[in-house]
Amino acid sequence: MRDIFENPLIDRYASREMLENFSPQKKYSLWRKLWIALAEAEKELGIPITEEQIEEMKKFAEIINFEDAEAFEKSTRHDVMAHVLAYGKQCPKAKPIIHLGATSAFVGDNADIILMRDGLGILKKKLINVISNLSEFAMRFKDLPTLGFTHFQPAQLTTVGKRATLWIYDLILDLKDIEYTEQNLVLRGVKGTTGTQASFLKLFDGDEEKVKKLDRMIANKFGFEKSVPVSGQTYTRKIDSFILRVLQGIAESAHKFANDIRLLSGLKEIEEPFEKTQIGSSAMAYKKNPMRCERMTALSRFVIVTGLNPYITASCQWFERTLDDSANRRIVIPEMFLATDAILNIYLNVSAGLIVNEKIIENHVKEELPFIATENILMEAVKKGGDRQELHEAIRIYSREAQEEIKQGKENNLINKIVEDKRFKISKEEIIKILEPKNYIGRSPSQVLEFLQEEVMPYLQKYREFLGISSELKV
């Protein structure tokens, strides 16, 4: 069917793995697993629930009767009750105890946190592989001099590998952010209608210890050490902001990388992969547009801007709960994860196939090196007895003249101007030695080695079982 809107995140960009993570099948089977866990824990704590009822619930944990649920929701206007009724239709023996003591947020909120946790796990694997790709790239080109840029104007030299470490470091910070978020993530748990656990206190005849134990048991069953200490009906929506800001951070890093590659592509120094049959422009057949990196920046912009949404949602919750978050969260949370997943899919693809045009880079260095080398030339001339202020003024004048000549299409003649000025007392042979590019890259190669060994390798070693992921783009 092509006569209704199709979401590009689903059809074009996100991976099947992330799409399955936020699928109705996973969401509603997770609801059922939460109901099963609740029944098991309640039974263990003395509530008269039979093993037969629990086994019946388990039988249909993954078999969702979606049509029944949709029919019930149409009549009840309540998605959780619709699924309670649909589940009860499949499990007549368990029907009386499904959702016992719980409110809608028990399945909705707890499932959302689990889905986001699992989504972070998917992103983490891809992030680690992008870091691995760029680390290999940085190592390969750690010694290759290239123009550094400040304000997108030629500055001191760096190396291609050193520049790559800047991209990697951003991603390392994102990885640390994911780890911190995972380590501090808690479940909503079992809190009742307004967070007071009143229904469960009633269920256990006023036994507070059993209520507290039930809360802990549910959290542990789903891999969490604990649940939120207090809540209204819902967990504080700041937890959504806490998680989704990690995705914003990844988008920031990816946007920076993609912009840099787009600029380098315009300079013809470094290019993203370009396939034999790929068309750069429908009109200009010669073009090789950096469409992958352009797509990265577009999707990153979407994530960065959409990341403002959960902050507003969290700030607008009234007292113990209001429902103006519901429709919003249904869209924002999955789409931010799908878009970030798509960004990392592209990042994986690009980082594995970057094309470095070394001759172009070398030519650009040669064009600018006479200007960059003037400080070293000045110092050498002063050593030979020259007047520093007088020679500095001469270099300033010659540099301006050379720049104007270059703008008129002439070659850079700065070195000849200096050699011909007897005040410098320096030969062309001496200047040629000064003009060796490696004299201007500082500690770049050492910095690459130190950074990779000290900051990156521990993570690649820690997560070595995740390495080896690649990405083939859908379009």
CB 473 within 8 A of CB 349: yes
CB atoms closer than 10 angstroms to residue 358: 13
For residue 465, the 8-state DSSP code is G
Residue 151 appears among annotated catalytic residues: yes
One DSSP character per residue, 255-297 reads: HHHHHHHHHHHHTTSEE----TT--S-SS-TT----HHHHHHH
Q: Which residues pair with 158 in a beta bridge?
A: 146
Contacts of 171 (CB under 8 A, 6+ apart): 127, 130, 131, 134, 250, 253
One DSSP character per residue, 24-62 reads: HHHHHHHHHHHHHHHHHHHHHTT----HHHHHHHHHTSS
Contacts of 415 (CB under 8 A, 6+ apart): 370, 428, 431, 435
How many C-alpha atoms does 203 have within 13 Å on its Cβ side? 27
* Coil, strand or helix at 304: helix
Closest CA to 287 of 268, 301, 305: 268
Task: Tell me the two tokens of residue 76.
Answer: 């009840």
* Coil, strand or helix at 170: helix
69: exposed, middle or buried (C-beta count within 10 Å: 0-12, 13-18, 19+)? buried
For residue 152, the 8-state DSSP code is T
Pick the catalytic residue from 75, 132, 135, 151: 151
Residue 281 appears among annotated catalytic residues: yes
Pick the catalytic residue from 281, 326, 427, 446: 281
**Which residues are catalytically annotated?**
151, 281
